Chain A
Amino acid sequence: MIWFFLLSGLFLGWSLGANDAANIFGTAVGTRMVRFKVAALIASIFVILGAVISGAGTTETLGSLGAVNALAGSFTVALMAGITVAWMTRLNLPVSTSQAVVGAIIGWNIFTNSPTDLSVLFKIMGTWVFSPILAAVFAIILFLIFKRYLGSIRIHMLQLDAYTRLGLIVVGAFGAYSLGANNIANVMGVFVPASPFRDLSLFGTVGFSGTQQLFLLGSIAIAVGIYTYSYRVMTTVGNDIFKLTPILALIVVLSKSLVLFVFASKGLENILISLHLPTLPLVPVSSSQAIIGAIIGVGIVKGGKGINYQILGRIAFGWVVTPIIAGVFSFIALFFVQNVFEQEVVRKDQKDNISSIVKPVDVKDWTLDSEFLDIRDISQTNITNNKYMRKICPQ
């Protein structure tokens, strides 16, 4: 039964692999700069590495939005997010798996009367707006650097072609790693609180947590999606989304990958904290919207001609509509799963504790005379789910 429930997450992973690999290797494969076999192998390996090594950060944020703690609930949330994505893709609307998952989790929160942490929600929604803008900024900067550099070196076109191929592979690997790290939360995040896996120790030294095993499973589903269906997307839909020259594709994919990386990297977050700089929230963001943001950035720096500004309206429409539809679907489906199929969508024994699990712990509240410093309050928070605990107790 556990494996059946995981199927919806695996389906979501498969569809993510099928669609989002085109954002990474679409132009490279479409223009035959990189063979599909090479692209699929690299994308699969690095998606898995990204998910297993760096997937925890974004999952924590999703978990703090709503800790879906029963497998049937996780199944329904993931399934409804997947159905929303499939339906909106069919309607030809720009859709984000991240937004669908967030909407579906809120649907679960409402259905189970669990509180939604509005500060986390606004933080997540802020990144939906900010990530395409940041991708555009990265693309503008990279474009100017590339233009200056390529204008100053006298390299033969054929050598440049070879370097571009190499660059597309390296950037593609980074893009796949970032995708795995950032988006695994969409695929498996809702299953984490109800994970059936136990922590393992490899060779007695390397720890392999239950969450990492779950992420490995989800990222394998993404890899299967890449191998089985992404070629079709790359050579048809993928090329329609962005027809770029290989060098522009390199810039765009690198910009997108950087955005996904900065919103997923705990390492970067720790560096920013140590430098006393503001951190970026670790949130799953839409790779498609980041790609569109990067393309618009390139369009702006090239004079702003030929930019289809209607697409911006469509993205904004997607921001609003996707979570709402996923939330409504999730709510209705949870009702049926609980009352018709008689499955437990929320664990009653933990339901009362949910509010404490998702209790917002803001670092600014943590002062010496704060009430929160009461040890009983700390004990009620989910320490693994609380990145601020690391600030309180740096290891």
Chain B
Amino acid sequence: MAVVFKKNKELEAQIDEYLDLLIRGGLVFKQGVKLYLEERNEEFEDQLQELRRIEEKGDDLRRHIETNLYLKTLIPESRGDVLGLLESADKVLNMITENLLEFSVEIPEIPKDLHPVFLDLSKHAIDASDGMVKAIRAYFRDLAAVRDNINQVLFYRKETNKIAEKFKRFVFRQDLRLSHRIHMRYFAYHIEQIAEESEDVCDRLAIATIKRYI
């Protein structure tokens, strides 16, 4: 029995480590966007590489956790939900990484007067994903706190939508090439999707939480 407790403790630490990676990914993304807008390209590329490493490590860790959950037949009644949550949370991290990569590949031109709005958009999108991570953590330890964290995610998702809309309205009223406007809209849309995806994870989490109440 002591072996079971020890194995479970190890897996518990791995899940916490995985969730830490999601938080770190969000921080690196915010920093990366800031560096890009400040045209500190070398540092930006370093951040992108760091984010890629985090994403790869996250993938490995997630696979390891999933395999162990099945091999050791742990939490049989919640295993499906946990695997689903980890996989959908992983999609958020992938989305964050892809977004920063697109900056490196497509080099979008963002006018200086739009930088604060763009930074605000990134910050709120990452706030939503951070809230999602907190909600997932609470799902494992403190069911009563899940609801509060989900509400935060909903709030940040709405704020992200508002900022993205404001950004797009502003962009499409500028005297810029249509391709330029569409390109900026594309970036705003994809950053907005981070918050949308985080909300989808939380919807899933809300159901999983109801199932966990005895």
In the complex, B114 has a CB within 8 A of chain A = no
In the complex, A155 has a CB within 8 A of chain B = yes
**B77 engages A157 (CB within 8 Å):** no
**B76 engages A32 (CB within 8 Å):** yes
B76: nearest residue on chain A (CB-CB)? Answer: A31
Q: B76, B82, B214: which contacts A248 (Cβ < 8 A)?
A: B214
**B5 engages A159 (CB within 8 Å):** yes
In the complex, B176 has a CB within 8 A of chain A = no
A244: nearest residue on chain B (CB-CB)? Answer: B77
Residues of B within 8 A of A246 (CB): 76-77
Shortest CB–CB separation between residue A292 and chain B, in angstroms? 19
Q: With A158-B74, A159-B5 given, is the CB distance from A245 to B141 under 8 Å?
A: no
Q: With A159-B8, A245-B214, A247-B214 given, is the CB distance from A33 to B76 under 8 Å?
A: yes
Residues of B within 8 A of A33 (CB): 73, 76
Report A244-259 residues with CB < 8 Å from chain B CB: 245-248
The docked-state distance in angstroms from the alpha carbon of A296 to that of B180 is 66
Residues of A within 8 A of B143 (CB): 151
Report B11-26 residues with CB < 8 Å from chain A CB: 11-12, 15
Q: Give 1 or 0 for each of B43-82: 1 = CB within 8 Å of chain A CB.
A: 0000000000000000000000000000001111110001
**A166 engages B1 (CB within 8 Å):** yes
Q: A150, A161, A169, A245: which contacts B74 (Cβ < 8 A)?
A: A161
Counting chain B residues whose Cβ lies within 8 A of the other chain, the interface size class is 20 to 34
The docked-state distance in angstroms from the alpha carbon of A246 to that of B74 is 11
Residues of B within 8 A of A32 (CB): 73, 76
Q: A146, A151, A155, A158: which contacts B75 (Cβ < 8 A)?
A: A158
**B140 engages A150 (CB within 8 Å):** no
Q: With A161-B74, A165-B4 given, is the CB distance from A156 to B12 under 8 Å?
A: yes
Shortest CB–CB separation between residue B116 and chain A, in angstroms? 39
**B77 engages A155 (CB within 8 Å):** no
The docked-state distance in angstroms from the alpha carbon of A151 to that of B209 is 13
The docked-state distance in angstroms from the alpha carbon of A33 to that of B73 is 7
**B141 engages A154 (CB within 8 Å):** yes
**B76 engages A157 (CB within 8 Å):** no
**B4 engages A245 (CB within 8 Å):** no
The docked-state distance in angstroms from the alpha carbon of A169 to that of B4 is 13
Q: A143, A146, A150, A158: which contacts B11 (Cβ < 8 A)?
A: A158
**A161 engages B75 (CB within 8 Å):** yes
Q: With A147-B214, A158-B12, A159-B5 given, is the CB distance from A245 to B144 under 8 Å?
A: no
In the complex, A162 has a CB within 8 A of chain B = yes
**A150 engages B214 (CB within 8 Å):** yes
The docked-state distance in angstroms from the alpha carbon of A150 to that of B78 is 16
Residues of A within 8 A of B8 (CB): 156, 158-159, 161-162
Q: Give 1 or 0 for each of B128-148: 1 = CB within 8 Å of chain A CB.
A: 000000000001111110000
Residues of A within 8 A of B139 (CB): 157
Residues of B within 8 A of A151 (CB): 143-144
In the complex, B9 has a CB within 8 A of chain A = yes
Q: A156, A166, A247: which contacts B140 (Cβ < 8 A)?
A: A156
Shortest CB–CB separation between residue A143 and chain B, in angstroms? 7
**A154 engages B5 (CB within 8 Å):** no
The docked-state distance in angstroms from the alpha carbon of A245 to that of B78 is 9
The docked-state distance in angstroms from the alpha carbon of A162 to that of B142 is 17
Shortest CB–CB separation between residue B70 and chain A, in angstroms? 10
**B73 engages A157 (CB within 8 Å):** no
Q: Give 1 or 0 for each of A129-168: 1 = CB within 8 Å of chain B CB.
A: 0000000000000010011001100111111011001100
The docked-state distance in angstroms from the alpha carbon of A247 to that of B142 is 17
Residues of A within 8 A of B75 (CB): 157-158, 161
Chain B CB count within 10 A is highest, among A33, A146, A155, A162, for A162
The docked-state distance in angstroms from the alpha carbon of A60 to that of B78 is 46
Shortest CB–CB separation between residue B13 and chain A, in angstroms? 10
Shortest CB–CB separation between residue A294 and chain B, in angstroms? 14
**B1 engages A155 (CB within 8 Å):** no
A155: nearest residue on chain B (CB-CB)? Answer: B141
B143: nearest residue on chain A (CB-CB)? Answer: A151
The docked-state distance in angstroms from the alpha carbon of A161 to that of B75 is 6
Residues of A within 8 A of B73 (CB): 32-33
Report A180-232 residues with CB < 8 Å from chain B CB: none
A147: nearest residue on chain B (CB-CB)? Answer: B214
The docked-state distance in angstroms from the alpha carbon of A158 to that of B7 is 9
The docked-state distance in angstroms from the alpha carbon of A209 to that of B63 is 59
The docked-state distance in angstroms from the alpha carbon of A150 to that of B212 is 11
Shortest CB–CB separation between residue B56 and chain A, in angstroms? 25
A-B pairs with beta carbons under 8 Å apart, 12 shown: A31-B76, A32-B76, A150-B214, A154-B142, A157-B75, A157-B139, A158-B12, A158-B15, A158-B140, A159-B12, A162-B5, A247-B214
Q: Which residues of B contact A (CB under 8 A)?
A: 1, 4-5, 8-9, 11-12, 15, 73-78, 82, 139-144, 212, 214
What would 13 more interface pairs be, CB under 8 Å, given A147-B214, A158-B9?
A32-B76, A33-B76, A143-B214, A156-B8, A156-B141, A157-B75, A157-B140, A158-B140, A159-B5, A159-B12, A165-B4, A166-B4, A246-B76
Q: Which residues of A contact B (CB under 8 A)?
A: 31-33, 143, 146-147, 150-151, 154-159, 161-162, 165-166, 169, 245-248
Q: Which 6 A-B pairs have the closest CB atoms?
A: A158-B8, A32-B73, A31-B76, A157-B140, A245-B77, A158-B12
